[in-house]
Amino acid sequence: MRFRQRAVAGFTTLLLPLAALVGLAAPAEAASTATATFTKSSDWGTGFGGQWTVKNTGTSAISSWTVEWDFPSGTSVTSAWDADVTNSGNHWTAKNKSYNGSIAAGASVSFGFNGAGSGSPSNCLLNGGSCDGGTTVPGDAAPSAPGTPTASAITNTSVNLSWSAATDDKGVKNYDVLRDGTKVATVTTTSYSSTGLTAGTDYSYTVQARDTADQTGPVSGSVAVHTTGGTTTPPATGSAVKLGYLTEWGTYTRNYQVKNLVTSGSAAKITHINYAFGNVTNGQCAIGDAYADYQKTFTADQSVSGVADTWDQPLAGNFNQLRELKAKYPNIKILWSFGGWTWSGGFAQAAANPTAFANSCYSLVEDPRWADVFDGIDIDWEYPNACGLSCDTSGAAAYKNLMQALRAKFGSSNLVTAATTADGTSGGKIDAADYAGAAQYVDWYNVMTYDFFGAFNATGPTAPHSPLTTYSGIPTPGFTTADAIAKFKSKGVAASKLLIGIGFYGRGWTGVTQDAPGGTATGPAPGTYEQGIEDYKVLKTSCPVTGTIAGTAYAHCGSNWWSYDTPSTIAGKMSWAKTQGLGGAFFWDFSGDTSNGELVSAINSGLS
């Protein structure tokens, strides 16, 4: 997926390097255990964005933190994330959330807020001591983590939980019970009966202790609970997969929100969503865009549920919107896709220790804050043992080893899938890695049967970027959907594990005089977000189809030449996919479709 580029969000200024932070505190003794530092990350005159960073400078873990400061009159916090912020007059207090109270030695956590006014904080305290490293938690340690809860007496609508007690130097007062990362009860005993649940639904429970000073300790391990009954089973084995990519950056400039899947009618016509992308860095799975993923708040008119987010809710962003989507369409399965064109360079380090990589991915995907949102993981490595944005030399076996480790960690109850190259040439990218060996560990491959040709070859020749079959004059024999599928089948990959790919966009050139494919060009045609690329919803009216070739369409308007799929060509491709026994189809991405989802409708109709 060559053209995927992350949009620059207005909130990227919050992600500042620690070197830029300036400490604020009254003079105190030299730093010994922890510091709190503040930076004003943005300023728009009447308000600003701020960020605090708490760093553990000691040699043992900190189990909780509280930052206090004073604002001058006229300055206040209007919204915050990753901390519970309250005030008494001009004195402000921020306490850790359940998920970020523990800080390992040498590590740090940050929380941010938007403020009104123009003042700066003063008189900073961290856990009762000076923010520049004075004594912390004077005389009272936070409680330990309780034991991981055990579940019993599970019914359609309830479950009984029990856990071993936490310890504290001054005594434990009570326990917070968290369901899917949200506090649902506070109890004084080590047991709780959770009622009012939905039949046939997955939940995750953790608990957290509070001491007599109301300090919270670390969250316990989580227990997964699946209530009995219910009719919201996944699609039957053998039914066609209809999968679409939803990009995290679509929430910005493109203004494509999860709710658009509902208003377009597309949510009722798909089976799966790939949420793209998580990062792959330091040999681990990592958050791609924290603000878009789980921090951004949506107004009522933007929200799937029609209810506005609040600044202090435990989970916001796209993840919460996807949770709301699943509540409306419980048969939709959602996978978190990692890598992509920009972040595939991280897979080489991941492949060096597949088990550690798989463990990191599982911990992130199954994070209690959003574990109920995701039904598995998708890997988009472009490309194993071959070249994409960068070149990989991990060896042909690395891909199989990575998929094997992921399946072992995620187990049989989660989906494990992958996007793959569609290079069907002899000695090409399909031949470079052990896709056949890896296939036993994946539920399916998303074969990226598009982007074969485009204005990355600026002078042409013009050619359809997603040809179904070959044709006379094709610039590179083997660069077709049929060749890619045939190559995978020849290696022993089952047809039912192969999905055909559809691009909801076109690729185009300018400076073209010839209507038929094979013409010369002077460069990429203008595009809304990137030169040489345009959404179908724009092209269908700005440059209507003038011909078809190799099962796809092309259009010549003025000096521009585009190729793209239409409802008609998609119908032909879906018919072909069924004759080949393929597992279904996927597309990149929802935002390129019309407001009434006509391309999604074509895929749905073609596979039904």
- The answer to whether the Cα torsion of 186, 190, 195, 200 is positive or negative is positive
Contact (CB, 8 A) for 415 and 361: no
Q: Of 179, 195, 226, which one is at a domain's C-terminal end? A: 226
| Interval 184-193 mean pLDDT | 94
Do 72 and 174 sit in the same domain of this protein? no
Same domain, 298 and 446: yes
Summarised one tens digit per residue, pLDDT across range 113-138 is: 988 887 888 888 888 887 766 433 44
Count of domains forming the chain? 3
Same domain, 444 and 303: yes
CA distance 208 to 218: 6
How far is the C-alpha of 437 from the C-alpha of 491, rounded, in Å?
A: 9
Average pLDDT over residues 575-599: 96
Q: Which of 160, 171, 176, 164 is nearest to 209 (CA)?
A: 176
Considering the domain architecture, whether residues 212 and 120 belong to the same structural domain is answered as no
DSSP annotation of 62: B
**Helix pair angle (567-579, 598-607), 10° resolution:** 30
* pLDDT tens-place string over residues 396-429: 999 999 999 999 999 999 999 999 999 999 999 9
Which residues constitute the domain of residue 17?
A: 12-130
Average pLDDT estimate for 100-104 = 91
Instruction: Identify which of 404, 523, 396, 380 has the alpha carbon closest to the alpha carbon of residue 455.
Output: 523
Q: Is the pLDDT confidence value at 504 over 80? A: yes
- How is residue 522 annotated by DSSP? S
**Please, are residues 177 and 185 in contact by the beta-carbon 8 Å criterion?**
yes
Question: Dmax over Cα atoms in the chain, in whole Å?
Answer: 83
pLDDT at residue 501 greater than cutoff 80: yes
- What span, in angstroms and rounded, lies between the C-alpha atoms of 555 and 514? 11
**How far is C-alpha 20 from the geometric centre of its chain's CA atoms?**
28
Does residue 558 form part of some domain?
no
Rounded CA gap, 466 and 423, in Å?
A: 12
Specify whether the CB–CB gap between 348 and 284 falls below 8 A: no
Beta bridge partners of 162: 150, 191
Which of 16-25, 99-108, 128-137 bottoms out in mean pLDDT, i.e. has the lowest?
16-25
pLDDT the model gives residue 476: 96
8 A C-beta contact, residue 363 and residue 302: no
278 has a pLDDT exceeding 80: yes
With contact defined as beta carbons under 8 Å apart, do 272 and 336 qualify?
Answer: no
Q: Angle at the Cα of 278 (from 275 to 284), degrees rounded to 5? A: 145
Whether residue 141 is contained in a domain is answered as: no
> So what's the pLDDT on residue 123?
83
Q: Flag the least confident range among 51-60, 95-104, 139-148, 441-450.
A: 139-148
Distance (Å, whole) CA 262 – CA 264: 6
Q: Which two tokens stand for residue 516?
A: 């038929």
Token pair of 543 as six digits? 């440059």
Place of tokens 């052990």: 434
pLDDT surpasses 80 at 18: no
Beta bridge partners of 22: 38
Q: Of 102, 130, 158, at which residue does a domain stop?
A: 130
**Cα separation of 463 and 517, whole Å?**
5
Whole-number pLDDT of residue 46:
79
CB 450 within 8 A of CB 502: yes
Whether the pLDDT of residue 23 is over 50: the answer is no
Contact indicator for 490, 478 with CB cutoff of 8 Å: no
How confident is the model over 558-575, as pLDDT tens digits?
999 999 999 999 999 999
Q: Are 48 and 112 in contact (CB under 8 A)?
A: no
CATH number at residue 159: 2.60.40.10
- The arithmetic mean of pLDDT across residues 8-14, rounded, is 32
For residues 37 and 21, the answer to whether their CB atoms sit within 8 Å is yes
Lowest mean pLDDT among 16-30, 282-296, 548-562: 16-30
User: Same structural domain for residues 159 and 98?
Assistant: no
Answer whether residue 295 is part of any domain.
yes
Give the range among 72-81, 245-254, 455-464 with minimum mean pLDDT: 72-81
Which of 533, 572, 534 lies closest to 550, judged by CA? Answer: 572
Give the domain CATH number at 296. 3.20.20.80
- CATH code (residue 70): 2.60.40.290
Residues 259 and 218 in one domain: no
Q: Which residues contact 585 (CB under 8 A, 6 or more apart)?
A: 240, 241, 242, 243, 499, 500, 501, 502, 573, 574, 577, 603, 606, 607
Q: What is the dihedral of CA 472, 474, 477, 483, to 10 degrees?
A: -80
- Is the distance from CB of 361 to CB of 338 less than 8 angstroms? yes
- Whether 598 is catalytic is no
Strand, helix or coil at 470? coil
Looking at the fold, whether 48 and 102 belong to one and the same domain comes out as yes
* Average of per-residue pLDDT values in the chain: 88
Residue with tokens 């921090």: 295
- Residue 446 shares a structural domain with residue 305: yes
And the tokens for 593?
């479709």
Model pLDDT, residue 233: 36
Q: Which of the following is catalytic: 248, 324, 366, 382?
A: 382
pLDDT recorded at residue 230 = 54
Please indicate, yes or no, if residue 474 is contained in any of the structural domains: yes
* Residues 69, 53 contacting (CB under 8 angstroms): no
Reference 578, options 517, 495, 516; nearest CA is 495
Same domain, 205 and 302: no
Assess contact for 27 and 134: CB atoms under 8 A: no
The beta strand positions in 117-263, using DSSP E, are: 122-126, 129-130, 150-152, 159-162, 172-179, 182-187, 191-194, 202-211, 223-226, 241-247
CB atoms within 10 A of CB 75: 18
**In-domain check, residue 547:** no
Share above pLDDT 70 across residues of the chain, in percent, rounded to a whole number = 91
Q: Checking phi first, is residue 458 left (phi over 0); if not, alpha (psi -120 to 50) or beta?
A: alpha
Q: What is the DSSP string of 305-335?
A: SS----TT-S--HHHHHHHHHHHHSTT-EEE
Is residue 218 very low, low, confident or very high in pLDDT (cuts 50, 70, 90)? confident
Residue 38 lies in a domain: yes
- Indicate whether 514 belongs to any domain: no
The residue among 68, 100, 130 that closes a domain is 130
Q: Are 26 and 120 members of one domain?
A: yes
Asked whether residue 318 carries a pLDDT value surpassing 80, the answer given is: yes
Average pLDDT score over residue span 355-360? 97
Asked if residue 312 and residue 398 are part of one domain, the reply reads yes
Give a yes or no: residue 539 inside a domain: no
Task: Examine the domain organization and report whether 432 and 283 are in the same domain.
Answer: yes
Preceding omega of 383 cis (within 30 degrees of 0): yes
